[in-house]
Amino acid sequence: MVKRGQMSAWLGGLLALVLAASSASGAGVTPKSGGVLNAMHREDPPSLSIHEEATVSVNWAMMPCYSNLVIFNPLRGQESPATIMGELAEKWTWRDDGKTLVFTLRKGVRWHDGQPFSSKDVKYTFDLVRGAPGAPALRLNPRKVWYAQIQAIDTPDPDTVVFRLKRPQPSLLMLLASGYSPVYPAHVPAAELRTRCVGTGPFKLKEYRPGELIELVRNPDYFIKGRPYLDGIRFIIIKERGTRIAALQTGRVDVTMPQEGTKPAAEQLRKAVPSMVIDEVSQSINDNLLMNFKKAPFTDARVRRALSLAIDRRAYIQAVRQGGAAVGASMLPRPWGVWGLAPGELAGLPGSGDPAKQKAESRQLLAEAGFGPGHPLRLAVSTRAIAQYIDMATFALDQLKQVGVDATLEQVESAVWFAKLTRGDYELGANLTGVSVDDPDANFYENYVCGSPRNYSQYCNPEVDRMIDEQSQTPDQVSRRRLVAEIQKRLEVDGARPILGWSNDYYAMWPYVKNLIPHQSVYNYARFQEVWLDR
């Protein structure tokens, strides 16, 4: 049954905040105001518009400028429906058996340019991203599919927004809490937000020097009094990996960037600077293989299974991620994610069993499919020209060689990569996929449903689509979890997108940085509203 009339979420959020704050930074320690945080950044974001991009490079620098309707509590590392608290929304309720979501908005909020915030901004934003008829179009819209169940958005008064759905979607709240779901101003054309920021967030964009620096300053009119503590944040762009690490070590930057911390780097850092605070947490990004379902021989299920069997997941995690990753299927594995398969369920999947036996089975399957020593399977593994991708592909190549596959590497520049994938112009791809929130809807609709633009392998199984739709509407957690587990197993067995592992992030910061708690997803914690510097 759908929960009705929950306690005012705003109060609940505030309570959680107080409890967490006192536990996180030591009870009784009062945060100091002031100071500028120097944060590491690895590259220019493709643009400054969060809704139009799908990379942590944008979220990291731009989240401080915006606000969501709801957000995950910054001080709790493990995100879940229970840690969702209101930002622009004070409270919300579900109605009509989960088909209507009503938000009561905060009053007196202003945009950075002084214009008042109201419900029409919320309607504008989500009509924009869901591609509502008559709404202006975004140049790029990677998460349109998230909002496919929204029938209409009503604004009965300036402080109330009503989302009316075609059918129940309990996950909607999780999707709205993602770092990818800020509220945009209705009075600024979306195209302008690619080069500047007008938001309601704790920081205003002061300056963007391409290739160098993204600088934000404190918003004195922020709707939460007393926040933010910081005077400003400087995202210093350093392209060279070695130089980045040296910068952190010598204090040129105070905190690292999410997705940038690897296990060996963390160990090295610990030795060099024993006082450095390093948090081991998941990235919510998985390493996977894309098999082109439209190209022979991947149309043959035996070949797909053989390739997936050939790659020893545990060895992968050891060799490529130096042990800093977890084996899992398409949903984030436990303990980081709640939907992940149990160890027993994982053991039966390709790549997780005895490596020697699985490789033998792989060779046998390939033989059945007509490939053997005199007539090997030849294929090219395509990947992006970035260290993480190349290492993954190199390892995969080596494993495939051991089952007699003649594999070569094709290194593709970032410029060409996604277009190549979308065109289906590849055989096997070594890929990284980020899942912003730990929710099946966020993951499955984007990556596995028939015809989804980001379903690069063009996997299409109507049966699985039906199961995905069913779980999306299921309010009961137990049955939903069972369905999701079934779906994950099917996806691995079908070879939709064999998951090699879920990497951990080793988030490092100098000890004087307080209240910056990395979450188990790199995409959602860059608001910085609680962070303060103890010096």
Partner 1 sequence: MLRFLGRRLVLAALTIAAMSVVIFVLLRVVPGNIVDLIFQSAGLVDPSEKQRLVHELLLDRPIAFQYAQWASAFVHGDLGKSYRYGLPAWQIIRPRIPITVELAILALTISIAVGVPTGVVGATRQNTWLDYGLRIFSLAGLSLPAFWLGMIIILVLVRTLGWIPSMLYIAPTVDLRAHLLQFAFPALSAGYRSAALINRITRSSMLEVLREDYVRTGRAKGLTSSAVVYRHALKNALLPVITVIGTEFAFLIGGLIVTETVFNLPGVARFLVEAILWRDYPVVQNLVMFIAIVVVLSNLAVDALYARLDPRVRYA
Partner 2 sequence: MRAIAGRFLRRHPLGAVAGVIMGLVVLAAIAATMVATQDPTRTDAAQTFLPPGPRHWLGTDHLGRDIYSRIVYGARVSLAVGLTTSALGGIMGGVVGLVSGYGRGVAAASIQPVLDIMQGFPLLVLALVLTAALGPSLPTVIVAIAVPFIPRVARVVRATTLAIRETTYVEAALALGASGLRVVVRHIVPNTLASLIVLTTAQVGSAILVEAALSFLGLGVPEPYPSWGRMLSVSAAEFAQRAPWVVFFPGAAISVVVFASNLFGDSLRDFFDPRLRI
Provide the residue type at 8 as one letter.
S
Show the site string, 466-505: x = touches partner 2 by CB under 8 A, - = not. Answer: ----------------------------------------
CA dihedral 307, 313, 314, 320 (to 10 degrees): 100
Closer residue to partner 2, CB minimum distance, 93 or 394? 394
Range 126-139 burial, b when 16+ CB lie within 10 A, else e = bbbbbebeeeeebe
Q: Which stretch, 278-286, 313-321, 507-515, 520-528, contacts partner 2 (CB under 8 A)?
A: 313-321
211 binds, among partner 2, partner 1, none (CB under 5 to 8 A by kind): partner 1
**Alpha-carbon torsion, ordered 316, 318, 320, 324, to 10 deg:** 120
Q: What is the smallest separation between the CB atom of 70 and partner 1, expressed in angstroms?
A: 24
Q: Quick one: what does residue 265 bind among partner 1, partner 2, none, with the CB cut-off 5 to 8 Å set by partner type?
A: partner 2
Q: In terms of CB distance, is 226 or 242 closer to partner 2?
A: 242
User: Footprint of partner 1 on this chain (CB under 8 A)?
Assistant: 44, 46-47, 52-55, 57, 137, 139-142, 144, 194-195, 209-213, 234, 236, 238-240, 242-243, 246-247, 249-250, 252-253, 272, 413-419, 421-422, 453-454, 456
Residues 222-261 that bind partner 2 (CB under 8 A): 240-243, 245
Residue 396: what residue type?
Answer: A
Placement of tokens 């938001």 in the chain: 199
Comparison of 352 and 488: residue with beta carbon closer to partner 2 = 352
Query: C-beta of 262: minimal distance to partner 1 in Å?
Result: 18
Cβ 199 to partner 1 shortest distance, Å: 18
- 257-296 positions binding partner 2, by CB under 8 A: 262, 264-265, 267-268, 271-272
Q: How far is the CB of 48 from partner 1 (least distance, A)?
A: 9
Whichever of 128 and 397 has its CB closer to partner 2, that residue is 397
CA distance 503 to 495: 20
- Classified as helix, coil or strand, 30 is coil
> Contact region for partner 2 (CB under 8 A) — 23-31, 385-393, 479-487, 488-496?
385-393
Q: Which is nearer to partner 2, 342 or 419 (CB)?
A: 419
What, of partner 1, partner 2, none, does residue 26 touch, CB below 5 to 8 Å by kind? none
Q: Tell me the closest approach of the beta carbon of residue 385 to partner 2, in angstroms.
A: 5
Q: Which part of the chain contacts partner 2 (CB under 8 A), choosing from 100-108, 155-163, 223-231, 410-418?
A: 410-418
Choosing among partner 1, partner 2, none, which partner's interface includes residue 8 (Cβ < 5 to 8 Å by kind)? Answer: none
- Cβ atoms < 10 Å from Cβ of 42: 19
Shortest distance, position 443 Cβ to partner 1, whole Å = 14
Q: Which does 194 bind (CB under 5 to 8 A by kind): partner 2, partner 1, none?
A: partner 1
- Whole-number Å distance between alpha carbons of 112 and 217: 11
Contact 311, 500 (CB under 8 A): yes
How far apart are alpha carbons 502 and 288 in whole angstroms?
A: 9
Give the Å distances, CA to CA, from 531 to 227, 228, 279: 9, 7, 16
Query: 197 vs 67, 96, 172, 183, 341, CA distance in Å?
Result: 12, 37, 26, 12, 40
Q: Is 364 exposed, middle or buried (0-12, 13-18, 19+ CB in 10 A)?
A: middle
Integer-rounded Cα radius of gyration of the chain: 23
The site partner of 390 among partner 2, partner 1, none (C-beta below 5 to 8 Å per kind) is: partner 2
Give Cα 216 to chain centroid, integer Å: 23
Q: Least CB distance from residue 425 to partner 1, whole Å?
A: 10
Choose between 65 and 290: whose C-beta lies nearer to partner 2: 290
Q: Give the nearest distance from C-beta 264 to partner 2 in angstroms.
A: 6
Of 23 and 243, CB closest to partner 1: 243
- Least distance (Å) from partner 1 to the CB of residue 383? 14
Alpha helices, DSSP H only, in 424-523? 440-447, 462-473, 477-494
Residue 262 binds what, of partner 2, partner 1, none (CB under 5 to 8 Å, by partner type)? partner 2
Instruction: Tell me if 148 contacts partner 2 by CB under 8 A.
Output: no
Q: Are strands 406-412 and 378-384 parallel, antiparallel or unpaired?
A: parallel
The per-residue DSSP string of 434-456 comes to E-SSS-HHHHHHHHTSTT-TT-T
Q: What is the nearest approach in angstroms of partner 2 to the Cβ of residue 311?
A: 12
Q: In whole angstroms, give the CA distance from residue 314 to residue 349.
A: 12
Element (H, E) at 407: strand 406-412
Q: How far is the CB of 235 from partner 1 (least distance, A)?
A: 11
Cβ contact 288:499 at 8 Å: yes
Single residue of 279, 300, 391, 534 touching partner 2 by CB under 8 A: 391
Pattern 413-432, partner 2, x by CB under 8 A: x-------------------
CA–CA–CA angle 385, 406, 455 (5° rounding): 50
Residue 234's φ and ψ, nearest 5 degrees, are -115, 115
What three-state secondary structure class fits 478? Answer: helix
> If we measure between CA atoms, which residue out of 435, 439, 524 comes closest to residue 59?
524
CB 290 within 8 A of CB 448: no
Binding footprint of partner 2 on the chain (CB under 8 A): 240-243, 245, 262, 264-265, 267-268, 271-272, 315, 318-320, 322, 385-387, 390-391, 393-395, 397-398, 408-411, 413
